[in-house]
Amino acid sequence: MFKPDRKKAKPGEIVEFEMGGMLVKGEVLPSKTKNSIIVDISAIKGYEKMNYGYPNTVVNHKKYRIVDEMPDENLNVNHMRSVMG
């Protein structure tokens, strides 16, 4: 069973959450949202097979846990992207 953190993630951290019955990891992107975070999931293994259609997703603060405070070297993500402008 998946147990989320109570800690809020910051941009650049790696989080894990459930999406479509799968456990997904991604990097938190900069945003101005208050109750959620924007997560880049395009760098995860098997992203193309997920058939999600978007490289980013919104995750409520109550629905994720922080896996790593520094980006994983296996994830090739640009840290400077912002979805809010």
Q: pLDDT tens for residues 25-84?
A: 999 999 999 999 999 998 887 777 777 788 999 999 999 999 987 654 555 544 434 344
Q: Tell me how far apart the alpha carbons of residues 52 and 31 are, in angstroms, rounded to a whole number.
A: 21
- Per the model's pLDDT, the better-predicted residue between 75 and 23 turns out to be 23
Give the pLDDT band of residue 2 (cuts 50, 70, 90): confident
Residues 6+ apart with CB under 8 A from 37: 8, 9, 15, 28, 29, 31, 58, 59, 61, 64
- pLDDT on residue 75: 53
Q: Quick one: pLDDT at residue 70?
A: 61
Tokens found for residue 84: 């809010």
Q: pTM, whole model, 2 decimals?
A: 0.74
Per-residue pLDDT, 85: 43
Task: Supply the pLDDT for residue 44.
Answer: 80
Tokens of 47: 């992203």
User: Does pLDDT of 3 surpass 50?
Assistant: yes
